[in-house]
A and B are shown apart, each in its own frame.
Chain A
Amino acid sequence: MKCTKEHRLSYNARAEEIVKGLTLEEKVFLMSGRISLEEMVKGMKEDPNKHYNYIPYPAGGIDEKGIPAMKFCDGPRGVVCGVGQSTCFPVTMARGATFDVELEERVGRAIGKEIRAWGGNLFGGVCINLPYNPGWGRSQETYGEESFHLGQMGSALVRGVQAENVIACVKHYAFNSMEISRFKVDVDADKRTEREVYLPHFKDCIDAGAASVMSAYNLYKGVHCGHSDYLLNQVLKGEWDFDGFVISDFIWGILDTADAANGGMDIEMCATIHFGDKLVKAVRDGLVPEEKIDEAAVRIIRTLLAFTEADDKEYDMSLVGCDEHIALARECAEKGITLLQNTDNVLPLNKNKLNQILVLGELADKGVIGDYGSSRVFPKYIVTPLQGITDAVPNNVEVVYYSGEDLEHARKLAGQADAVVFVVGYDHDDEGEYVSEDQTDAYTGGIGGDRVNSLGLHQHEIDLIKAVGPVNKNSVAVLIGGNMIMMTEWKDDVSGILMAYYPGMEGGTALANIIFGDVNPSGKLPYVVPYKEEDLPQVEWDTTEQFYEYYHGYAKLEREGVEPLLPYGFGLSYTTFEVKDAKFNTDGQSVTAQCTVTNTGGRAGAEVVQMYVGFSNSKVHRPVKILRGFARVELEAGESKDVTISCPVEKLRWYNEETNAWELEKMEYEVYIGTSSADRDLLQGKVTIS
């Protein structure tokens, strides 16, 4: 990556010099977007191809002064621009399940290349919000429930995108984990929760070099995040020494000119509503010091100059949706799709021994790649699960598809088939980005929102699985969705369960490759699956206030001694792995766990080895254990590899609210290494930090 922070700061003097030659109006012009809401809506109404962000959305830019415009391209499942061209990757949650930072970096490079071809220079798709409750409708856009993992995966995407000299914008800063109330909810949390749970992954991405941050719509402690002196000026630009620029979330991201400018907002997106003339006036009226404007202008100019001048490579449109990127989308799906249950090794199905395979469920015949909000990518094709399966089977195998509406008919078909695949879960109407009724003009047609009623399947899908699953023991449920889907009620009615997330444009191909064993599944759950929804933190979805407790997800269940249905980090394979010879040590700078992992089964596969650290000796309340490292290991049948995972001791600190400082406890820590967060899958040792 050429555009490191150091490189960017080397443009500081030049940027300051340019700013000196600008009028107040010119400086303010740099600080807002040039696409009005009216234009956006008008374009959409005139022509469906002119969807949200169909071209990069510009902000600022003054050619005659040598200042490039910022050109925004949304994500994260690919580049939102155009119709029928950009590569649609699996959603972020599916990529989180790969636990593969190298792969995510390659995704970042592919996205960066496509953005360059579209003429953009900023990727607004590094979404790393932590879902307090998995019902958050946009949690498909993030990597999972664990802050450490979010930080690692998000940093990989930042590195990849910026390697192509495209600015990575990390969002939505911060506490943005509720959708339907996103414009009004005031989130509160205690300081430890803020520092240990909701902010570290943002800092990780800043440390990885991210050059831009997008603020969240919601409020934190009574202040809109886009106005937050605390979050933007003090923490981000102050404590973390962030050198880049902050942009607002779109249209409703800031609500007051002076509050936003003084709070540390550098660019209002994507329209000029509260900045522009109003900001000029606010400066003239003495409500905003001109130094704030100068600082923003310098941040914007030095960042854009550094990235714009980093190379003079041409990226042509043949890169957009190219074969290599589509193959990468498939690879992500193949490595992310997670095998959750495989009773009697029902999977993989042997396609040469089948005469007829029955596919049930409306989602099988739909190209479901996620919500219809701002992250919607428009690829040239989508392989549905049904298409993936029909393409994969030999010519003499008959595939029968039925929606599943009539349970008796479905049972009859299941009785005749050699195997049954249910495809069940969600689409854009069930979860996703949501614009409330008074703002229906914006964005698109999906209903979306949070999963306010249930984290389970639709009742008709549960009825279908329970009625038809027992008829055929070669039955497999494929789950489509952006986050945890409850399984307790129906899991025993099928033999196999695969979590497919929203697997992208090549999802159907990847799914079929896994179902028929051409690919050995290796995804791991980036969230915990509880027996009961009540085991998770409870959220009032339609609300103006929400308190985020310190514990959520697997850490909450473990702290409370509640056994999960499936632990965080869990995922099965068609082969078996053994972890042994664990060794744990520390040199005072970092904690290291080592082990030998062996593929003890009959075929090649990949295992995600995970390191957790426990705090039972702590003098304060702390999680039983939390993830502090992971490594994906590919192993041939019978092969062994030594795995070493380490983590800097800073990541073991806790935040002392009384001293407002991070503290590293001098004590003995438990360290674990293994294949999921469940104790039965881990080897344990101890290290002492003195």
Chain B
Amino acid sequence: MAESVSLYEEIEYPFTLGFKCFTASLESSCPHWHDAYEIVVPVEGQVRVRYKGAAYTLERGSIMLINSREIHAFASGTQQNICLFLQFSPNVFKLDRSSDARIYNFYLNTADPSIRLRTRPERFIEAVVRIWLHSYEKKKGYQYLMHAEFFRLIGDLFAHTIYDERFLSDSNAADSDTYILDQLSSYVHEHYTEDICMEDICRTLGMSRSTLYRFGKNVLGCSINDYVHHVRIKEAKRLLRRTEQCISVIGQNCGYSNDTSFYRAFKSHVGKTPSEFRKEGAAPSSDGRIQGYISHDTGAVYRLVKASSLFAQ
């Protein structure tokens, strides 16, 4: 007798797709990192990116890819900006690599003239725009087109950019950049209200001054002192926008011993004084859910993108 045959077949998918595409207006962010790869395409205005010890200015027509786990920081340029972002998980590459722990590093940055591309950068810019438009317009079946565009873009990265591959079995090794940043960040966030001196940081992190100096120069793209200011000013901005506390108190709460040093640091980082900032502060009222991303009117962005040269039919 024949055995009964089940028509049901359990199918295991090789990976969980992970990507998202959104628009944001970038203000400024602390140096940070994430597992996701991130592609930035400015639609309007300027954005400054610190990445691997260098600073780049991006504007419309530029594109930059930030690799997985690479430390980076954003700052707005002279004009307010709107950017498209495509973030995707390293799991995407499980389609290609099932077992080993390699991380692909793609070199795609139109602001770095030393990086060679084997195609026009527009190929990538247009792809990001199309992915975002699909996700915005949500026409019937858009998911398929959006995924197709996304995978074509990934394939194009292999075909048209220089890429290398990294293997680090222990990405949290005690001397890895991300580990150092984690340690530094928690220390500074715990102590920014106090007087912070380099000796304390070195002692707590168990690192030499020269190691931290090199880390600042090569990874953060700024000095450790600048980093401390960055954390303090960010908190000061939050307090200026969201509380009624007086400016001197905010300065003191953010670790500045007197008004002069607070004003000087604030002005140099933000480009305006704390009181000017508070007056204009009504404008973008977001709490900046994600590092430095500020929400805005996506409908306006849609019209902008459709009208712009970024959108090639």
Contact = CB atoms under 8 A, between A and B. Distances in A.
Contacts of A400: 164-167
B80 to A, nearest CB: 35
Interface string A404-415: 011011000100
Interface in B121-141: none
A401 B165 contact: yes
B175 A398 contact: no
A354 to B, nearest CB: 12
Contacts of A399: 166-168
A524 to B, nearest CB: 33
Given A409-B107, A409-B162, A390 B116 contact: no
Given A396-B175, A408-B116, A402 B170 contact: no
A618 to B, nearest CB: 58
Contact of B167 (A390, A406, A408, A409): A390
Contact of B162 (A387, A390, A396, A406): A406
State the 10 A-B residue pairs at the shortest beta-carbon distance, nearest first: A395-B170, A396-B173, A402-B164, A399-B167, A401-B165, A390-B167, A395-B169, A398-B168, A409-B162, A406-B162
Say whether chain A's binding surface is mostly helix, strand, loop, or mixed. mixed
A390 B173 contact: no
B297 interface: no
Contacts of B7: none
Interface in B180-201: none
B290 interface: no
A407 to B, nearest CB: 11
A418 to B, nearest CB: 13
A667 to B, nearest CB: 62
Say whether chain B's binding surface is mostly helix, strand, loop, or mixed. loop
B174 A396 contact: yes
Interface string B248-282: 00000000000000000000000000000000000
Given A390-B100, A390-B169, A409 B164 contact: yes
B160 to A, nearest CB: 12
B49 to A, nearest CB: 20
Given A395-B173, A402-B165, 4 more contacts: A396-B170, A400-B164, A400-B167, A401-B165
A193 interface: no
Interface size for chain B: under 10, 10 to 19, 20 to 34, or 35 or more residues?
Answer: 10 to 19
A401 B167 contact: yes
A413 B173 CA distance: 21
A585 interface: no
Contact of A406 (B116, B165, B173): B116
A398 B175 CA distance: 11
A355 interface: yes
Interface in B56-84: none
Given A355-B175, A395-B169, A401 B116 contact: no
Contacts of A396: 168, 170, 173-176
B102 interface: yes
Nearest to A395: B170
Contacts of B173: 395-396
Contacts of A397: 168
A401 B102 contact: yes
Interface residues of A, number: 18
A386 B165 CA distance: 11
A205 to B, nearest CB: 42
A387 B97 CA distance: 13
Contacts of B116: 406, 408-409
Contacts of B167: 386, 390, 398-401
24 contacts: A355-B175, A386-B167, A387-B100, A395-B169, A395-B170, A396-B168, A396-B176, A397-B168, A398-B166, A398-B167, A398-B168, A399-B167, A399-B168, A400-B164, A400-B165, A400-B166, A400-B167, A401-B165, A401-B167, A402-B165, A405-B162, A408-B114, A409-B116, A413-B164
B213 to A, nearest CB: 17
A688 B102 CA distance: 64
Contacts of B164: 400-402, 409, 413
A416 to B, nearest CB: 10
Most buried by A among B162, B164, B173: B164
Contacts of A398: 166-168
Contacts of B174: 396
Interface in B154-168: 162, 164-168
Nearest to A413: B164
Contacts of B102: 401
Interface string A147-190: 00000000000000000000000000000000000000000000
Nearest to A389: B167
A413 B166 CA distance: 12
B206 to A, nearest CB: 15
Contacts of A393: 169
A98 B171 CA distance: 39
A181 B302 CA distance: 67
Interface in A8-64: none
A405 B170 CA distance: 28
A390 B168 CA distance: 8
Interface in A371-398: 386-387, 390, 393, 395-398
Nearest to B116: A406
Nearest to A393: B169
A401 B166 CA distance: 6
Interface in A336-373: 355
A405 B160 CA distance: 12
A137 to B, nearest CB: 31
Contacts of A401: 102, 164-167
A387 B166 CA distance: 12
Nearest to B175: A396
B143 to A, nearest CB: 34
A401 B167 CA distance: 8
A396 B176 CA distance: 8
B283 to A, nearest CB: 42
A397 B175 CA distance: 10
Contacts of B166: 398-401
